Structure 1
Amino acid sequence: MADAAESHGGGNEPQRVLEFYSGIGGMRYSLIRAGVKAQVVEAFEINDRANDVYEHNFGHRPYQGNIQCLTAADLDGYGADAWLLSPPCQPYTRQGLQKDTGDARAFSFLQILELMPFLLKPPSLLFVENVVGFEVCQLGLTHKTNFVTQEFILSPLQFGIPYSRPRYFCLAKRKPYSFVNEIWNRQLIQSPGPLYEHFDTAFIEDDLSQEDRHKLLQSCQPIESFLELKNPSNNIEAESATLGKGDDNVCDSLQQYYVPLSLVERWGSAMDVVYPDSKRCCCFTKSYYRYVKGTGSLLATVQPEKRDKASLKEQCLRYFTPREVANIHSFPEDFKFPDHISLKQRYALLGNSLSIAVVAPLLQYLFANPQ
């Protein structure tokens, strides 16, 4: 096998990729969407159900052992050009204990990075995805191991997807290779402009003026573009017949997706309610469907002409279906769940996944040869 740096420099061989914390395959789908000539030589995931889904869609079951047990020799054996990592986010979330690298859930990630100086064949490329706040750990090892970095905080809203989910991304290249737009080296970038060679002013969604935020949302597709059910209706039985054709026969009725009125009465003031023509919804977490507060948006299915006069209890609120959440995450149409994965498990697995619409152009940018 050619040296990793030689391969990255434009050889005919596909890039050899290791996919850590592979989940249900969001990173691999992003790699495919990016059009990168790459071969995933191994994926690593400890969640058994996530591996069932990954295997169902890709025909390969990820390595399910503890990656903390991997040695430098083990990693060298893969001869990987690139490592893609989406480690557990709980140590860094605003709702969590924020112990950062002191949290046991971060140990496996740190262990992998600490092995890098001891590799005979270190990767040429690194890609790390996590929650906003992860940047505080600074990934100092990238500097110790001769990498140049560009960091991003981006949201699907900036890519035309009506989904508010800012995430942190660290892209790293081992010297002497650098990025196409070297001006952004060692910077935290909050705009997708550099990915498309647009050197506009970097911004983050929360810093936008009211006018700019309106323009950003208007550029997004409406939520109805991502729904299984295109025409809102109060006829649950009719909707159920339509849904059953595209949801892997998970449910016998759409009834299970409607929010009980008792929950509307108790938690209505805390619910984020959106409509089919809305241009934004909130982040879906792994607790979506189990809880209604702070776990993701709910869809109002009341007839449009009745919307303004209807009370919250009359809005006919329902959860987004797993297929709809997958659509908003930009998973392809041929992505499927195995039949034995329960409804709650599907939501949990999707909540731990990533936005393919955001990650794909980042990977395309990372794998591009410097000009």
Structure 2
Amino acid sequence: METPPPWRVLEFYSGIGGMRYSLASSGVRAEVVEAFDINDVANDVYEHNFGHRPCQGNIQTLTAGDLDKYKAHAWLLSPPCQPYTRQGLQKHSADARAFSFIKILNLMQNMSFPPQMLFVENVVGFEVSDTHDQLLAVLSTLSFNTQEFILSPLQFGVPYSRPRYFCLAKQESMCFPNPSVNDKLLRTPTCLTLNTTRTQNSYDQNEDDLEVVCNPIRNFLEAQSIGDKESSAIISDFKEADGCTPIETASHDYTVPLSLIERWGNAMDIVYPESKRCCCFTKSYYRYVKGTGSVLVTSKVRLFSFLSSVPVFSFFAPLTLWCHLIIFTIPYFVIMFFKL
């Protein structure tokens, strides 16, 4: 029997390539035929890891004909989240950052070769927006079935509290393995890493329950302690030109200054290697303390002989918590740019 060709995939808002990395890790036979992102630094990282530079420009300039030429089976979309975040203005489709996604939805209705499958990711809050309503309306018009979820890494045993909205959509001619949840939004399903006697429609498990079955943070660290001179493990995901980061460099770059702890310690979300959760990391992590992500107690040091040991706090380099393996790297010139 002849092997069918791989799926042709378009990746919108590709960023540094998280969607593509996950697609490759899934084992699905698929080929990303094009990616789109407007951010040049993100595209640098994407190109560094995948050998392909995304199409850089405003998605709003695309036409139905532009997308038809790819004849893609599947689209991956992670549109800007700012219009829907709790801390934002929540302008939804009236926010200019939502316009490109709405443009894509409109283009789908005018294509000769629309996709057969969609995967959409966004923040919690998107599911109650008018943009979400437009998404479902377009998918219904084009005869798609949908399955929607609010999922967190905690459900997969990863100690990272980051609930997100996901929409899976397939044309009606393609069946989901579990059609009983078609056209439903499932919130906080049970932990997906356990054999459980819960019924399929039991979705009342909270994050405290999920922490019990999570792996500890130490399982995701590349060194147990910044002060551990004997460790040959690499502390940071970020690599220098020779492919590794010395312990001394990592200590300097990621140790939280004592002055910052003294001033803002009460506002920090502090976790330990044995902790089974940490908070979501935001774009402002490392620059602001409150509400931007957790800090990790990595070791204890004695500042002076007459003082007791005090904990050393470190910033995360969170690629491993996102389950991106060590082969995913950041170009050296990008690291230097952000150090300046």
Quick check: 1:338 aligned with 2:331? yes
1:124 is aligned, of 116, 120, 128, to 116
Task: Report the CA distance between 1:201 and its aligned residue.
Answer: 3.4
Task: Give the structure 2 partner of residue 226 of structure 1.
Answer: 220
Aligned residues of 2:237 and 2:329 also touching (Cα < 8 A):
no
1:295 matches 2:286: no
Q: CA separation in 2, counterparts of 1:282 and 1:228? A: 19
My pick for the range that moved more, 216-225 or 278-287, is 216-225
Alignment of 1:66-145 (within 5 A): 66-136=58-128, 137-138=132-133, 139=135, 140-145=137-142
The number of aligned residues is: 319
Partner AA of 2:99 in structure 1 = F
- 1:10-61 deviation digits (Å, cap 9, x = unpaired): 9701111000000111000111111111110000011101111110110000
CA distance in 1, matches of 2:300, 2:191: 42
Q: Which residue of 2 aligns with 1:359?
A: none
* 8 Å Cα contact 2:12-2:77 kept in structure 1: yes
Contact 2:190 2:203 in 1 (8 A): no
Letter of the structure 2 residue corresponding to residue 200 of structure 1 = Q
Mapped to 1, the partners of 2:124 and 2:263 lie a distance apart of: 31
Letter of the 2:4 counterpart: N
SS at match of 2:69: helix
Q: 8 Å contact 2:154–2:191 — kept in the other structure?
A: no
1:187-241 per-position Cα deviation (integer Å, ceiling 9, x unaligned):
001255698998523436xx62xxx824x213211111111212x3646xx3897
Work out the CA distance in 2 between the residues paired with 1:27 and 1:33.
10
Task: Classify 1:159/1:343 alpha carbon distance in 2 versus 1 (closer, same or farther; 3 Å).
Answer: farther
**Which TM-score applies when normalising by structure 2?**
0.86
Query: CA offset at residue 286 of structure 1?
Result: 1.2
Q: What secondary structure sits across from 2:183 in the alignment?
A: coil
How many angstroms apart in 2 are the aligned matches of 1:49 and 1:132?
26
Q: Indicate the larger mover: 247-256 or 167-176.
A: 247-256
Counterparts of 1:172 and 1:116, CA distance in 2: 13
* 2:8 partner SS: strand
Residue aligned with 2:100, SS:
helix
Shift of 1:126: 0.6
For 1:217, the equivalent position in structure 2 comes to: 211
Report what 2:304 is aligned to: none
Taking a change above 3 Å as real, the CA distance of residues 338 and 299 of structure 1, as seen in their structure-2 partners, is: same
- Partners of 1:245 and 1:301 in 2: CA distance: 13
Identity among equivalent positions (%) equals 56
Q: CA deviation at 1:175?
A: 1.9
* Counterpart amino acid of residue 312 in structure 2: C
- TM-score, normalization by structure 1: 0.79
Question: Any conservation in 2 of the 1:153–1:188 contact (CA below 8 Å)?
Answer: yes
Q: What is the Cα-based RMSD across aligned positions, in Å? A: 2.8
How far apart, CA to CA, are the structure 2 residues paired with 1:100 and 1:17? 27
With over 3 angstroms needed to count, the CA separation of the structure-2 counterparts of 1:70 and 1:130, relative to structure 1, is same
Give the Cα separation in 2 of the matches to 1:23 and 1:224. 27
Give the aligned partner of residue 56 of structure 1.
48
The whole-number CA distance in structure 2 between the counterparts of 1:58 and 1:292 is 33
* SS state at 1:281 partner: coil
Which stretch of the first structure deviates more once superposed, 15-24 or 293-302?
293-302
Task: Give 2:322's aligned residue.
Answer: 329
> What SS does the corresponding residue of 2:28 show, helix, strand or coil?
coil
The one-letter code of the counterpart of 1:19 is: E
Contact 1:290–1:344 (CA under 8 A) maintained in structure 2? no
CA contact (8 A) 2:271 2:278 kept: yes
Instruction: Sort the Cα spacing of 1:80 and 1:195 in 2 relative to 1 into closer, same or farther, 3 A.
Output: farther
Which structure's residues are more often helix, by fraction? 1
SS in structure 2 of the partner of residue 264 of structure 1: helix
The answer (yes or no) to whether the contact 1:46–1:64 under 8 Å persists in 2 is yes
Quote how far apart the aligned CAs of 1:256 are: 2.6
Compared CA separation, residues 343 and 188, structure 1 to 2 (3 A): farther
- How many angstroms apart in 2 are the aligned matches of 1:14 and 1:241? 40
The residue number in structure 2 matching 1:316 is 312
Secondary structure of the equivalent of 1:106? helix
Answer yes or no: is 1:248 the counterpart of 2:267. no
Displacement, 1:267? 1.5
State the Cα distance separating 1:174 from its structure 2 match. Answer: 1.2
Distance 1:272 1:179, change over 3 A: same
Which amino acid in 1 is paired with 2:47? E
Q: Which runs of 5+ in 2 are unaligned?
A: 302-306
Kindly indicate whether the alpha-carbon contact (under 8 Å) linking 2:237 and 2:326 is maintained by their aligned counterparts in 1. no
| C-alpha contact (below 8 Å) 2:226/2:235 kept by paired residues | no
Whether 2:284 is the aligned partner of 1:284: answer no
> More deviation in 66-75 or 134-143?
134-143
Deviation at 1:248, TM superposition (A): 1.3
Q: Is the 8 A contact 1:189 1:202 kept in 2?
A: no
**Distance across 1 between alignment mates of 2:165 and 2:15:** 18
